[in-house]
């Protein structure tokens, strides 16, 4: 039945093509095309790390580009929706208790960084303050006890005369929120949302600076920030985002992308340790935003998460910006022996650093002294507890990841003009924010004829290879159902990961004979794939380098479309795509960007890209950076008009949005069949 209906559907398609008679025949493997995802991602990371701050040779160069880099950073840290420059909501500070100690007191308090988002904190205030003092914001690392574990640091700051606010993270504070979305829960749709938990932490810290600035004991012109590990990375982010920070001392909180990928230290890092890397930046770019304010980078030489060599590279690169400001003395690196932690050397240097830059006191590290970790003076978790009467009923900490980045509602489309305007805006956004890692200058196809036979189809069978992107030589398997010199339509069938033998052939087997058929494996599929237990690493590493598995697959399919249009037996204007399951997402985004596909045949497409994956990272990888900030996959069929959309099997409910729009505007509606037979 489908063959008859499909014949009527496609009867008007009279198409054209070119053949491969002049292509070289490949008889041995190409040593330059390894199709190795680890090599590819390491090279991508190396390109980012080695080209940071390129083209900046003068202070004028930097100052000219700095506003753009700042705005990009704010977006990548998921702060774009926050009122950084506008009116902010009330902090509604609530003090729930006070602990008086010799020479200082501790106020146990919490505040609202956003309505319903509460931040537990302890505020250490020296006794007998007669005029406003310098203050330190201490941001906690990934310790289960947070302000209890790190209490020796704010205590020491208070003893040195600083007011110190220590705030807890959403992940390991008195209320346990989530940092480990992609890391442990399979919430890779965070990438599609453009969400990183680093953004929530940075915002909570910025509001902590608001709190400090409002205190009569604090001089708001003398604020510093420091912390270890996750608190170290946050120290970079907060100082880069908020100019009120006048000195920063991150500890074991950063290294270069290329080091993370080469050593796979990325696998040990929380999701908060890297922005959504839309614009493919590295920590040198973040450090440059801090310049020329004083920056002390403290790093252990045997850190299992950040190699000392990479941190030296960060320091060297960032120092070039400080040199442009004629302030090389404002940046320093202190190296300490041991693993991922503080050392007496780094702690004392940090105390001396803040005394100098926030209080104007020249006190040596030795005279500044160290923290006291004697068990008898440590306060218990109960003594430092903030929520003594329970957590506020409307607390959003455990769910903030669902609302921190504002996702748009599906637009109301009333006419064709609005539809096409929306489509154009979506394409512009995607090219910039989702597919920005596409090569600016595509490499030549360098086509090869890999295999040819008289079998397999009425007019023969040919397998071609072409270079999609440097490092990836892919094959397209063409079955000619029509005479080679007659231009006919071509249906590109995407093979799916882990499909059974002949599964794609069975799926498309009943296609009208007007169509030649090409079977194509994007990277991640078939012989271009990788071990399933590597998928978790690949998904995270890809995002850290500004791409995703699905976005790379879209690029491969775009290149395949372009290559197939050069073949003699293919009508360049009459190409369709057929795909199943997660590959339907790749097909629809590709067709949207390409703009010249005649028809899409899809089976069982996901209803949304805002859905979780398996915690181990295996299986479908449909996330694409930031895409949900502009659209979702169920909206794409409407945007693909006038291309025809054929569903094999049930049409998912979410796609009714597109179907209703097409019907309202008198466009071609969906077709549905039980099978391509």
- Residue ranges per structural domain of the chain: 94-400, 448-673
559 has pLDDT over 50? yes
CA distance 344 to 155: 16
Tokens 């640091």 — which residue?
153
Per-residue pLDDT at 8? 32
CA distance 193 to 188: 9
Instruction: Please report the DSSP string for 432-470 in residue order.
Output: IIISTTS-SSPPP---EEEEEES-SSTT-EEEEEEEEET
Residues 512 and 10 sit within 8 Å (Cβ to Cβ): yes
Per-residue pLDDT at 418? 97
Q: What is the pTM of this model?
A: 0.94
To the nearest whole percent, how much of the chain has pLDDT over 70? 95
Residues whose CB falls within 8 Å of the CB of residue 145, separated by 6 or more in sequence, listed in order: 172, 381
pLDDT digits (tens, 9 = 90+) for 58-115: 999 999 999 999 999 999 999 999 999 989 999 999 999 999 999 999 999 999 999 9
Coil, strand or helix: which one is 5?
A: helix
Per-residue pLDDT at 255? 96
Query: Do 94-400 and 448-673 fold alike per CATH?
Result: yes
User: β-pairing, 461-469 with 488-494?
Assistant: unpaired
pLDDT digits (tens, 9 = 90+) for 375-398: 999 999 999 999 999 999 999 999
- DSSP letter for 267, please: G
Region of poorest pLDDT, from 14-23, 263-272, 391-400: 14-23
Token pair of 488 as six digits: 């006919």
508 has pLDDT over 80? yes
pLDDT digits (tens, 9 = 90+) for 342-365: 999 999 999 999 999 999 999 999
Mean pLDDT of the chain, nearest integer: 94
Coil, strand or helix: which one is 232?
A: helix
Using alpha carbons, select from 159, 175, 290, 193 the residue that is nearest to residue 234.
290
549 has pLDDT over 80? yes
To the nearest whole percent, how much of the chain has pLDDT over 90? 91
Per-residue pLDDT at 26? 72
Query: Residue 4 — pLDDT band, cuts 50, 70, 90?
Result: very low
Helix ranges (DSSP H) in 194-296: 197-214, 230-241, 257-263, 283-290
Residues whose CB falls within 8 Å of the CB of residue 454, separated by 6 or more in sequence, listed in order: 460, 461
Q: Which CATH superfamily is domain 448-673 in?
A: Alpha/Beta hydrolase fold, catalytic domain (3.40.50.1820)
Query: Residue 677 — pLDDT band, cuts 50, 70, 90?
Result: low
Using alpha carbons, select from 197, 185, 183, 177 the residue that is nearest to residue 612.
185
CB atoms inside a 10 Å sphere around CB 202 = 27
Using alpha carbons, select from 448, 605, 313 the residue that is nearest to residue 25.
448
Q: Quick one: average pLDDT of 429-451? A: 97
Per-residue pLDDT at 20? 52
Per-residue pLDDT at 31? 64
573 has pLDDT over 90? yes
Q: What's domain 94-400's architecture?
A: 3-Layer(aba) Sandwich (3.40)
C-alpha angle 100/104/105, rounded to 5°?
A: 40
Query: Residue 29 — pLDDT band, cuts 50, 70, 90?
Result: low
pLDDT digits (tens, 9 = 90+) for 452-499: 999 888 899 999 999 999 999 999 999 999 998 899 999 999 999 999
pLDDT digits (tens, 9 = 90+) for 516-539: 999 999 999 999 999 999 999 999
Per-residue pLDDT at 5? 33
Query: Residue 12 — pLDDT band, cuts 50, 70, 90?
Result: very low
Per-residue pLDDT at 16? 33
Instruction: Please report the DSSP string for 331-392 in residue order.
Output: EEEEEESSSSS--HHHHHHHHHHHHHHHH-----HHHH------GGGPPPHHHH-S-TT---
Token pair of 429 as six digits: 């956004």
Alpha-carbon 122 to chain mean position:
32
Phi then psi dihedrals of residue 494, to 5 deg: -80, 120
Token pair of 108 as six digits: 């146990």
Instruction: Please report the DSSP string for 518-538 in residue order.
Output: EEE--TTSGGG---GGGHHHH
């Amino acid at each position: 039945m489908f063959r008859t209906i499909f014949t009527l559907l496609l009867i008007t398609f009279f198409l054209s093509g070119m053949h491969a008679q002049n292509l070289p025949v490949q008889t041995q493997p190409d040593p330059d095309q390894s199709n190795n995802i680890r090599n590819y991602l390491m090279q991508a990371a190396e390109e980012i790390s080695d080209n940071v701050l390129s083209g900046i040779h003068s202070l004028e160069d930097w100052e000219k580009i700095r506003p753009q880099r700042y705005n990009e950073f704010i977006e990548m840290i998921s702060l774009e929706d926050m009122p950084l420059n506008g009116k902010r909501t009330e902090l509604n500070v609530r003090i729930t208790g006070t602990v008086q100690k010799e020479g200082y007191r501790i106020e146990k308090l919490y505040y609202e960084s956003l309505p319903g988002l509460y931040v537990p904190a302890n505020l250490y205030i020296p006794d007998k303050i007669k005029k406003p003092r310098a203050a330190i914001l201490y941001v906690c690392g990934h310790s289960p006890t947070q302000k209890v574990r790190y209490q020796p640091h704010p205590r020491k700051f208070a003893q040195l005369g600083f007011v110190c606010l220590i705030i807890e993270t959403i992940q390991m504070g008195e209320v346990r929120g989530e940092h480990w979305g992609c890391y442990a829960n399979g919430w890779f749709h965070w990438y599609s949302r453009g969400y990183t938990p680093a953004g929530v932490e940075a915002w909570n810290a910025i509001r902590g600076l608001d709190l400090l600035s409002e205190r009569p004991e604090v001089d708001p012109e003398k604020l510093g920030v420091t912390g270890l590990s996750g608190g170290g990375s946050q120290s970079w982010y907060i100082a880069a985002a908020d100019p009120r920070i006048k000195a920063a001392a991150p500890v074991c909180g950063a290294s270069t992308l290329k080091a993370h990928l080469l050593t796979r230290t990325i696998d040990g890092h929380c999701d908060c340790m890297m922005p959504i890397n839309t614009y493919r930046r590295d920590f040198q770019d973040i450090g440059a935003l801090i310049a020329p304010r004083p920056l002390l980078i403290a790093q252990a030489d045997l850190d299992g998460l950040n190699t000392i060599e990479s941190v030296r590279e960060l320091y060297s690169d960032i120092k070039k910006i400080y040199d442009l400001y004629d302030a090389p003395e404002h940046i320093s690196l202190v190296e300490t022996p041991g693993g991922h932690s503080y050392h007496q050397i780094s702690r004392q240097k940090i105390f001396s650093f803040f005394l100098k830059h926030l209080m104007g006191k020249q006190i040596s590290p030795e005279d500044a002294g160290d923290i006291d970790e004697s068990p008898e003076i440590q306060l218990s978790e109960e003594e430092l507890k903030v929520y003594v009467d329970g957590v506020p009923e409307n607390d959003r900490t455990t769910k903030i990841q669902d609302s921190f980045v504002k996702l748009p509602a599906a637009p109301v489309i009333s006419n064709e003009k609005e539809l096409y305007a929306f489509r154009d805006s979506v394409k512009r956004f995607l090219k910039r924010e989702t597919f920005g890692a596409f090569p600016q200058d595509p490499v030549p196809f360098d086509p090869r004829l890999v295999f040819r036979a008289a079998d397999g189809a009425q007019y023969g069978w040919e397998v071609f290879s072409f270079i999609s992107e440097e490092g990836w030589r892919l094959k397209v398997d063409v079955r000619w159902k029509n005479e080679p010199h007659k231009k006919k339509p071509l249906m590109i069938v995407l093979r799916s990961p882990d499909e059974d033998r002949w599964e794609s052939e069975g799926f498309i087997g009943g296609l009208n004979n007007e169509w030649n058929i090409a079977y194509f494996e994007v990277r991640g599929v078939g012989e271009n794939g990788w071990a399933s237990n590597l998928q978790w690493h690949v998904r995270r590493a890809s995002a850290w380098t500004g791409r995703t598995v699905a976005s790379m697959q879209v690029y491969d399919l775009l290149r395949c479309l372009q290559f197939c249009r050069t073949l003699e037996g293919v009508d360049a204007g009459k190409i369709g795509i057929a795909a199943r399951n997660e590959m339907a997402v790749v097909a629809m985004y590709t067709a949207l960007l390409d703009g010249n596909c005649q028809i899409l045949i899809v089976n069982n497409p996901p209803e949304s890209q805002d859905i979780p994956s398996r915690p181990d990272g295996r299986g479908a990888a449909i996330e694409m950076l930031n895409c949900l900030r502009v659209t979702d996959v169920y909206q794409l069929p409407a945007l693909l008009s006038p291309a025809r959309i054929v569903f094999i099997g049930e049409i998912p409910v979410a796609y009714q949005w597109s179907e209703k729009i097409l019907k309202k505007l008198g466009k071609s509606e969906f077709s549905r069949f039980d099978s391509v037979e």
